[in-house]
A and B are shown apart, each in its own frame.
Chain A
Amino acid sequence: MKASSLRRLVLLSLARDWKGAAFSAFGVAIGIGALVFFISLGLGVGRVVQQKVFPVEATLVDVVPPSISIGILGGAKLDQSTVDRLSKLGDVAQVYRKMNVRIPAASRYDGPFFGSHLRMAIEVLAVGVDAGLVRKDVLLGDFSDPGAERPIPAIASTRLLEIYNKTFAPPRNLPQLSPNLVVGFTLPVQFNRTFVGGATSGPVVEAQVQIVGVSERALLAGITIPLEAAIRLNRIGNADAQTFSGVTLVARDPSGVPRIVDRVRGMGLQIDDQERRLAQNAGAAVMITTSAMALLSMLICFLAAVNIAHALFASVRARAREIGIMRAVGAARRDIRSLILAEAGVVGLVGGFAGTIGAVALATGVDRLSASQLPNFPFKPDTFFSHDWRIFAGGVALGVIAALAGAFLPSRHAAAMNPARTVAD
């Protein structure tokens, strides 16, 4: 049978029993709509968790010294020679060193703050890193130690800025800040000085710290400064300026990460995978919830397919004579099978489209409701949903598949009917 003939017969048949077809399509639409909604929600929330709450880059491996030293010689040290060995590991493309500023630091600020007045006194944590680790996020100047007389460039954490904007600033009537806005802000920091501890050894270093960018790779609760500046400050404060607090390795390819991890552990060092595990746990929780909802939706799709099967069996019985007439004028069994399957396919296509459009509309409504009704919490996304065309295409395709699955047996039944018996008067 030609496609044009099949299309004509299908449309004629559906037009004749449009109420039944619409009811079947409605069942498919409910199942597909629920499926698309929950999968979009799951992937959308998962994306927020992975990209904003716990941003983990697949190629990065954070190496730290062992937390417990066993034996006379102690554990492996993370000094320059160790860093050199790490850089020679296969699969490692880049090595970025990190050193905590091992002396206390504090800031007392009393001055203008983006149109407001800010008065604060805080302890400051700082870590020095190789410039390459954060270079792509530096928006002002050169990320290197400028020496004692000039402001130290610093990178703030994207997540810290988010927490400030959503939690800290609103109740204090402080302005909302964007990454571009904070660049250039300078605050005084006294290194080797603390408000909360006892006396420190060595001189207090008065410095200015200037924000030059915001990065997901920066220290969450503190500032990230050039490695040379951290070494200089540690030397001034008589702290360890030789060993590193950590090293970030960049794998050539995500698939090389497990091999790097094995070799690093073989060197007696540890992997700081706390963030990765948090991301995995949060991702797993989202995935399990999404899967449960998707399973429920699939069950609705299955029931829709069963409903289509029932409806088509009834339709085939009612149209037995008509099918016999078609056979008498030249329809082969496969033509009858194609006709029934095509009818179901159209029902599935319409149901799949309707369900997907309904899901997108509902998701848009939820996002609008969230924007207007929910408080502005940290990491609150513009949308909770992943509006990926592949999800929509998959929804429509699944609608068609469910309908075709439902039509499989009725189509075979219709094709197997004895035409001589059905046209008998």
Chain B
Amino acid sequence: MIHARQLRKAYRDGADEVRVLNGLDLDVRAGEFVAVVGPSGSGKSTLLHVLGGLDASYAGEVEVAGVRLNELNDVALARFRNRQVGFVFQSFHLIASLSALDNVLLPAFFDVEAVAGPRRKRAEDVLARVGLIEKKNRVPAQLSGGERQRTAIARALFAEPKLLLCDEPTGNLDETTGGEVIELFRELHRDGLTILVVTHEDRMSTAAQRVLRLTGGVLRPSGGEGR
């Protein structure tokens, strides 16, 4: 599902160059649930953005779901993000003025092939899948933290992506709510979805099949963690 070779990316911090990805290699099989752990600022989110086609300024080669991201222009990358991957962020990133249903429908706004009737049905289905169909017309401010994250997960699932990329998905949730979200990821994984989570939380990484540690800009297996 994911093949990354010799990924390199550096930031300029004043006069210094900070290498967050330094020849990173990664292989994730289809249907795998992988957690990437590491300290803050180690480049976990950057790796996620590169793999999701959200950040195109890097060196190296990335192939996701059979698509070589290096060869895509902006429009093709947008289409890739729309169809092949779903993002889940720590801060949910819902649009405050839109209802839960419209937030879930957001990817359809940018899909020229989406048809109004079926896409609404699909949005309601994924909201039902995450247990929020009763609250579909509520705006994010009327939802709890866990409900917001489940709405964000529903949005990520809307286009039936092959890969779910999650950036600290339980970071803003209490233990109970975070546990519910982790359980939801487990269910999705059982249904065959490939999931890559970056996290620094043990409870999240223990849910994954495989745990990798990002240090010094490269990934290494993390012993003693994962299922």
Residues of chain A touching chain B, judged by Cβ–Cβ distance below 8 Å, are 1-2, 4-5, 8-9, 12-13, 15-16, 321-322, 324-335, 418-420, 423-425
Contact = CB atoms under 8 A, between A and B. Distances in A.
A328 B95 contact: no
B49 A329 contact: no
Contacts of B42: none
B112 interface: yes
Given A12-B97, A12-B98, A329-B82, A420 B49 contact: yes
B116 A327 contact: no
A325 B95 contact: yes
B38 interface: no
A20 to B, nearest CB: 14
B107 interface: yes
A330 B155 contact: no
B45 A328 contact: no
B112 A330 contact: no
Contacts of B112: 1-2
Contact of A1 (B81, B110, B159): B110
A332 B112 CA distance: 12
A329 B110 contact: yes
Interface stretch (B24-32, B72-80, B180-188, B216-224): B72-80
Interface string B72-101: 001101110111000101110111011000
B97 A423 contact: no
A331 B110 contact: yes
Nearest to B86: A329
B107 to A, nearest CB: 4
Given A4-B116, A420-B46, A425-B168, A330 B110 contact: yes
A418 B116 CA distance: 30
Contacts of B98: 12
Nearest to B73: A332
A13 B109 CA distance: 14
A325 B75 contact: no
Given A420-B46, A420-B55, A329 B89 contact: no
B52 A328 contact: yes
16 contacts: A5-B108, A5-B110, A12-B102, A326-B109, A327-B54, A327-B81, A328-B87, A329-B82, A330-B78, A332-B74, A333-B78, A418-B55, A419-B55, A420-B46, A424-B45, A425-B167
